[in-house]
Amino acid sequence: MDSYHIKGGNVLRGYIEVSGAKNAALPILAATVATRGENLLRGCPEISDVHSMVRILRSLGCTIKWEGEKMSVNTDSMTECRISDGLMKEMRSSVFLAGALLSRCGEAVISNPGGCNIGKRPIDMHLNGLKQLGVHISHTEDHLLLQGSDLEGTDITLPYPSVGATENIMLAALSAKGCTRIINSAREPEIVDLQNYINKCGGKIEGAGTGMIIVEGRRQLTGCCHKIMPDRIEAGTYLIMALATGGEILLKGIDHRLLAPLIDILQKAGYRVETGYGFIYACALGKEKICCKVDTSPYPGFPTDLQPQLTALLTVIGEGSAVNENIFEKRLKYGEQLKKMGADIEIYEKKVIIKNNKILYGADIVAQDLRGGAALIIAGLAAQGETTVANAKYIKRGYSRLTNKITGLGGVITEDGN
């Protein structure tokens, strides 16, 4: 079993160049299927989820060259519209290929996607939106067959601003006749990045970042050059990580507005946080005290993907705080692992209460999902003694060159595995 080994107690100081965003790279890689020719993408993070998406694209017949964070994807040689079960189950974001394959081939064969086990994440909203465009969906015991070679643009109102459903409908609507309006669409900045990429390819989409996205279909799409936006969740993770050890950090290549809810909490707690064009600087002054109530919500609210990391910081300096998880019902499993390290917290179904701040001690703990695993890394670096975090595979899904970045800040972390 892959594991991280951490020696706690070191103060983290230094700077990090923020990698490209996982949650932007994956739907954009899926969207390449709807284009013809070569796509040149910069800022592709070197994470296992991107490796999984590359394997899927190659299985469909795409030609891919990947060096560092630069990737070339040529879809001219595509021959398949079916994704194997094994590849689908490697990660949830493979579901985005349904809409892209419908635009390219008029059909798609998929199974239920995999990913982290953080609660129910049904694809009903995806499928209902596709049906409204005219997609015929057949179910077998293990697969979904989606057929839709003559789609019609329409108004689709989402019951909840789901990021995945918004992006999947956007991609399918590229082949629909006329305009499609997605009402109550998700507003995440990664959706804006997907819109920008598609428009560079010759598409016409507007409204991303608002509650209504308009897609004009049946425009010829060709490959383009595009730089993936920076990863706001990675940036927030390292920001919290450095401050949890009483250190300081300079994050380069990140728009501070993407982390406004987190920065507001840190500034109110007494941390020194300075922002400017393309950077965030933060420093612990030794007198910080957080007492806050945090409720996760869709963008621009506090992101669910930073909830576990913030909770790890609160166990050290946030006595009396409460965190409510409103997106995923199983995203608090990491809390029991923090208790093994001495965290004085109470865990309810969707809520964590920080009772008292106590010194954390190293322990053998287990990551059970991506962001919860990142929280355990933070706790291990802030703790006294040595910590082993098993199931490193989850953390590698979303953090590029994690051990190199942490050691560059002065932390002590190594990894092993079979």
**First-to-last C-alpha distance (Å) of the chain:** 6
Comparing CA positions, the residue from 350, 252, 250, 262 lying closest to residue 306 is: 262
Question: What gap in Å lies between CA 283 and CA 304, rounded to an integer?
Answer: 24
Structure tokens belonging to residue 78: 């595509």
- Run of H or E including 104: helix 97-105
CA atoms lying within 13 Å on the CB side of residue 323: 33
Strand partners, 414: 5
Structure tokens belonging to residue 59: 């299985």
Cβ partners under 8 Å of residue 106, min gap 6? 147, 148, 149, 175
Amino acid identity of 234?
Answer: E
**How many DSSP H helices and E strands does the chain contain?**
14, 23
Catalytic entry in 44, 81, 116, 224: 116
Question: What gap in Å lies between CA 260 and CA 141, rounded to an integer?
Answer: 45
179 annotated active-site: no
- Going across the sheet that includes 212-216, the strands are 155-157, 179-183, 212-216, 204-206
Q: Mind telling me the catalytic residues?
A: 116
